[in-house]
Amino acid sequence: MEVGNRYVSLKKYINGAPCESDLEIKTAALSLEPRKGSGDIIDAPGVGEVVASDIADYNKGDWVADHIGWQEYSVIHGGETMRKIETKEFPLSHHAGILGLSGFTAYVGFHHVCKPKKGDRVFVSAAAGSVGSLVGQYAKLAGCYTVGCVGSKKKVDMLKDKIGFDDAFNYRDEPDLKAALKRHFPDGIDIYFDNVGGEMLEAAVANMNCFGRIGICGAISDYTNSIRTGTFDTVDTIDKRITIQGFLVVDYVHIYKEFLKATVDYLHRGEIHAVEDISQGLESVPAAFVGLFHGDNTGRKLVQVIHH
Ligand SMILES: NC(=O)c1ccc[n+]([C@@H]2O[C@H](COP(=O)([O-])OP(=O)(O)OC[C@H]3O[C@@H](n4cnc5c(N)ncnc54)[C@H](OP(=O)(O)O)[C@@H]3O)[C@@H](O)[C@H]2O)c1
């Protein structure tokens, strides 16, 4: 069986910052016996409606969340990342954001890697992004003092006025990041949730307290650099007994139910907010993707491919 399908593909290997011309939209028949290893369709987490299924318990009309690709129709095979969306009480977009990979990453990284205590001073980078905006909210719910850094005044205002960060600053206005962090954390940082790496990580290490914890979630400032920026002081990490841990959310699938229950409860009580930035149509995927590297998005960047 085949269905018509449009999808976004990479024209060539991206070296450095991506631009829209690196990506193209193609049309092809989607075979339910997909070509193995063709590697030309870009994988992305998302939600979709089942149109045909031979997987037990998944029927036509069900909604699923999984890695579904930047395309109109996807073949997915099931596995530990696939889950059926049982509740229709939240917008579907939440299942690709706050109740999906972003929320789960924020929850795992903050609660299970950074291990917060009430009163901890928490710093979050890329704090208006999909993960960062949720880390800050989990931190506030855990009774922590929370400051985020972002790339514009509009995002600073959003963090402080809409989602309850104690403070925020625009890193682009700060010629000296170490001094900026010293100003925002005169008593030092206990937890740094790192989404950006590079010079911000170096500045954060310099401002950490003894026994501080750094959860390394992402390194977006280094994804497009062939030369790594920022070198933190390793002697400082020894003197201050800092724990620095990189993590991958896929290693924590066993706590997905714990995350979902906690976050659904927060949503029911109105204690957490999903920040979403939705563009329309497959054609908007290249610009949406490139925009992530320029800070165009606020919150979870999503593309609505098909209207339902
Ligand atoms: N470890 C895991 O398992 C896991 C899982 C999911 C995601 N991640 C990683 O976690 C990080 C956050 O993901 P996300 O989905 O929240 O990201 P996102 O929503 O895509 O946010 C990206 C934001 O990063 C900021 N940014 C872009 N380039 C930057 C630079 N050079 N320096 C500083 N900030 C920059 C921009 O905001 P500003 O306007 O503030 O600059 C941009 O809006 C990413 O690095 C991602 O790869 C890790």
DSSP 44-113: -EEEEE-SS--STT--TT-EEEEE--SBSS------TT-EE----SS-HHHHTTTTSHHHHHHHIIIIII
CATH of the domain at 187: 3.40.50.720
Count of structural domains, the chain: 2
Distance 189 CA to ligand 1 centre (A): 21
Verify whether ligand 1 is closer than 6 Å to residue 291 (CB atom).
no
3-state secondary structure of 248: coil
Q: Residue 92: CB within 6 Å of ligand 1? A: no
Q: How far is the CA of 169 from the centre of ligand 1 (A)?
A: 16
Q: Is residue 241 part of a domain?
A: yes
Domain co-membership, 193 together with 244: yes
Residue 157 lies in a domain: yes
Residue 166, in any domain of the structure: yes
User: Ligand 1 test: best mutation among 200, 220, 227, most atoms within 8 Å of CB?
Assistant: 220
| Whether residue 195 has its Cβ less than 6 Å from ligand 1 | yes
71 lines ligand 1 (CB under 6 A): no
Write the CATH number for 77.
Answer: 3.90.180.10
- Parallel/antiparallel/unpaired status of strands 45-49 and 63-67: antiparallel
Domain finish residue from 61, 96, 131: 96
Ranges of residues in the chain whose predicted pLDDT is under 70: 1-4, 28-40, 308
Are 245 and 105 in a shared domain?
yes
Residue 137 near ligand 1, beta carbon < 6 Å? no
Check if 148 has its Cβ closer than 6 Å to any atom of ligand 1. no
Determine whether 76 is exposed, middle or buried from the number of CB atoms within 10 Å of its CB (0-12, 13-18, 19+): middle
- Give bridge partners of residue 147 from the DSSP assignment: 123, 167
Index of the ligand 1 atom closest to the CA of residue 299: 19
Whether 161 and 245 share a structural domain = yes
Nearest atom in ligand 1 to 250's CA: 3
Q: pTM for the whole thing?
A: 0.92
Pair 25, 149 in one domain: no
Which tokens hold the place of 232?
A: 């933190």
Indicate if ligand 1 lies below 6 Å from the C-beta of 197.
no
- What is the predicted pLDDT for the residue at 37? 45
| Domain end position, chosen among 96, 112, 135 | 96
> HSE-up of 274 (CA within 13 Å, CB side)?
26
**Per-residue pLDDT reduced to its tens digit, 92-112:** 999 999 999 999 999 999 999
On whether residue 20 sits in a domain, the answer given is yes
Q: Which domain holds residue 50?
A: 2-96
* pLDDT at residue number 40: 67
181 and 75 in a common domain: no
151 Cβ below 6 A of ligand 1: yes
Say what the pLDDT of residue 36 is: 44
Q: Whose CA is nearest to atom 27 of ligand 1?
A: 293
Question: Terminus-to-terminus CA distance in the chain, angstroms?
Answer: 23
CB 70 within 8 A of CB 42: yes
